[in-house]
Amino acid sequence: MKQIIPVTVFCFSIILLSINGLPKTHDTCLVLYIFDGDTIQVQIDDAKETVRLIGIDAPEIKHENKSGQFFGEESLKYAKTLLQAKTIRLERDSLCADRDIYGRLLRYVYIGDILFNAKIIEDGYAYAYCTFPFEKKAKFLELEKEARRINRGLWAAVTEGINQKNQNQVNSQNSSITSTTDSSCKPEFVASKKSRVFHHRDCELVKSISQRNLLFFNSYEEATHSGRRPCKVCRGTKEGAIASKNATKTPK
């Protein structure tokens, strides 16, 4: 009878494990180092362990032989602000292995009652990483969707970048034109490859010419010999170019 009880308890434990998956651990530990937004190093008892946070993918930062990804430094700074030198709690997921193929612990990270894995997605500094199953997958996807909807963190930068992409290209072109034409040693007259009109380099309408279509002439005669006529706004002169600042027409 004495031998039956231990065996029964052991079998019951095996059944519970098969139903509930791997047991969760709640290790309290100190954060020693933060590699990026989804990978940290911690001290557990006498051992140092690298922890890969479950369910998130933070942008990579620049390494010696690897270029960084968009918003990587911002994500790292965010993680450092919340985790650096903090005492945290680690928790396993019953659907995940204990370690990944690189030997890193796979864990949820809690700061008090705050689940950092969820918060970094919610605030827009990491993506939901759903290649492998985990218990909080649906929640993390919803957090990412909401962060994207309200333009938080990297999503705000992405949206702003898309909205300003064309404007940035125009600004770059205008800057290039200005740097090319504001010196007395540079060609004084400018035209577009697609136009039969030429301008004085200070003409306001020069800014609307695409950089790839720019043509330069060293003299008024050279410009006219190309078969082009002076711009009706600046008339091909510096004096006329000053008046062009109030013009709204674009070169034809």
Q: What is the pLDDT of residues 103-115, one digit of tens each?
A: 999 999 999 999 9
- 99 as an active site residue: the answer is no
Q: Where do the domains of the chain lie, and which CATH numbers do they carry?
A: 4-154 (2.40.50.90), 166-245 (3.40.10.10)
Contact 196, 228 (CB under 8 A): yes
Taking every pair of Cα atoms in the chain, the longest distance, rounded to a whole number of angstroms, is 115
Pairing of strands 87-91, 26-36: antiparallel
- 212 as an active site residue: the answer is no
- 235 as an active site residue: the answer is no
Given the residues 49, 52, 144, 204, the one annotated as active site: 52
DSSP 3-state assignment of 226? coil
Confidence band (pLDDT; 50, 70, 90) for 194?
Answer: confident
Tokens of residue 236, six digits? 């091909």
Given the residues 73, 91, 99, 104, the one annotated as active site: 104
Question: What gap in Å lies between CA 240 and CA 248, rounded to an integer?
Answer: 14
How much is the pTM? 0.57
Average the pLDDT over each of 78-92, 120-134, 227-241 and give the range with the smallest value: 227-241
Q: What is the pLDDT of residues 35-85, one digit of tens each?
A: 999 999 999 999 999 999 999 999 989 888 778 888 999 999 999 999 999
Given the residues 60, 74, 122, 188, the one annotated as active site: 60
